[in-house]
Amino acid sequence: MAERPKTIDFPGVVIVGTGLAGVMTALKLAPLPVLLVGAGEGCSHLAQGGVAAAVGAEDSPALHAQDTLQASSGLNVLAAVETVTREGPARIALLENLGVKFDNRGGKMTLGREAAHSVDRILHCDGDASGAGIMRALWEKIEAADHIQVLSPVLAERLSTQDGRVTGVQLAADGHPVLIKALAVVLATGGLGQLFDRTTNPQGVCGSGIGMALRAGATAVDMEFVQFHPTAFDLPHLSPNPLATEALRGKGAILVDGNGHRFMPDIHPLAELAPRDVVARAVFEAVKQTGRVCLDATQAVGEAFPDQFPTVFRLAMEQGIDPRIQPIPVAPAAHYHMGGVAVDGHGRSSLPGLWAVGEVACTGLHGANRLASNSLLEAAVYGPIVAEDIRAVLGPVPVTGGKVDLSAGDATAPTVPAWLRQMMYTHASLVRDAYGLEKALDMLHYWQPLSEAERNMKLAAQAVLVAAAVRRESRGGHYRSDYPATDLAQERRRFLSLDAIRNYRGEELKAAPLERTLAHV
């Protein structure tokens, strides 16, 4: 019999997730009491590429929006694209005010180029350690903020609801379940990369927030669209797989197959700087056909590696590869999820009392394929938007007495079963078909999870598989070998509920029930 959770009333907001989205939301909620909980560091600190924003003299928010739309393969929410690209420069200024030091030369920000960007607009911190630099500065602010209590490592297990409203979150703290009742709950739990055998995402990033939201009755959207980074280190024994940043290709690094042939110019006019889904599938196919693919930066970067890309240089040297004179073996790895909890322009989910922000949320910014370096920007833009909306919804509330007397214990991020990760990479990664998707769904049907964490990851995986099975076309990060063309008639978003996932029976489930649009989305 399951242990009955201890209940604690918290007179403020609980944020689940300690990455950029959660931290930005927490800081901007002041003076409301905030309980910031998480079981791991998330993905933000691992980001190498940087933040995209229209701060250059030759750039503009309109051009940034145009590039975002062009790379997305459709399905964008135009209001989200306009909001993020318009607010981008102001959010960069806000990050600077919070202590983030972006790289500059002679007092002028240095801007890089990445795939599908028409101008240089990527800002970095410490070369290719952008995420770590940003998070280091923001955590100094978190630790100094009187209104924020950090509770970590703590594992969030499920949401509490009453009369159709989210009223709190159940945690596994100090080895026992604890229910934190709160005025509002914000999910900032990141994506689901660890559901796949190869991923750049750290342990614990396995769709937990999506699973919790679906189980509580919230709606998910665009779940089929998973972006695979083309150039993760080809080191199957490591998880997560270290990333060879896209900025290397922006500097001129090239991809060569096992025969020494540079293949990307044969596939796309932008060659190595084509949209990520195009490059990732090309690398995937080249590995299958020739045995390996390498990223060769020996000519483009060479001796400048330690200064320009210190993170990649260190990672490569740790594996016995000197990237100044040797190409880096690479392979695609699950990197970013374009889908997630369906939210409106304020970050509200379909359930009152529940907001979502960052990768766990689907604002519609990314469409079917994310433009490089738009993810950190989205978190920086929507964190303050969510905070402002929560304050508006809650109205005047007491801003004292918000501390929770609770020991974090030694909770660890959940581990995804190896068979599940292998199954998802085999049947639901870069190339999918009906047979593989149905086989994977059958395997999940017979799996009986033993923990709340496993229930969440199972449901997130099922949502990806059902959405991929129903979308009988290829678009962005979703490629069906049995439906390789893009079908304009299917240029619409698909919303998923818990019932839709559980009731899916192959062809028996028509696409129509999944088209239910939320009133505020």
Residues marked active site are found at 276
Structure tokens at 406: 């609770």
- What secondary structure letter does DSSP report for 506? G
Q: How far is residue 418's CA from residue 416's CA, in Å, rounded to a whole number? A: 6
3-state secondary structure of 501: helix
b/e code 418-438 from CB counts within 10 Å (16+ = b):
eebbebbbebbbbbbbbebbe
Q: How far is residue 12's CA from residue 34's CA, in Å, rounded to a whole number? A: 6
Amino acid 431 reads V
Q: How far is residue 206's CA from residue 202's CA, in Å, rounded to a whole number? A: 9
Residue 72 near residue 367 (C-beta atoms within 8 A): yes
Instruction: Please enumerate in sequence order all residues whose Cβ is within 8 A of that of 57, keeping only pairs 6 or more positions apart, or say none.
Output: none
Instruction: Please enumerate in sequence order all residues whose Cβ is within 8 A of that of 78, keeping only pairs 6 or more positions apart, or say none.
Output: none
Instruction: Please enumerate in sequence order all residues whose Cβ is within 8 A of that of 19, keeping only pairs 6 or more positions apart, or say none.
Output: 41, 42, 43, 44, 45, 135, 188, 190, 358, 379
Structure tokens at 426: 């085999």
Structure tokens at 93: 């200024």
- What secondary structure letter does DSSP report for 345? T
Q: How far is residue 341's CA from residue 335's CA, in Å, rounded to a whole number? A: 18
Q: Which residue has the tokens 């919303």?
A: 495
Q: How far is residue 95's CA from residue 384's CA, in Å, rounded to a whole number? A: 12
Bridge partner residues of 257 (DSSP): 293
- What secondary structure letter does DSSP report for 159? E
Q: How far is residue 170's CA from residue 2's CA, in Å, rounded to a whole number? A: 13
Instruction: Please enumerate in sequence order all residues whose Cβ is within 8 A of that of 465, keeping only pairs 6 or more positions apart, or say none.
Output: 427, 428, 437, 440, 441, 444
Q: How far is residue 432's CA from residue 108's CA, in Å, rounded to a whole number? A: 45
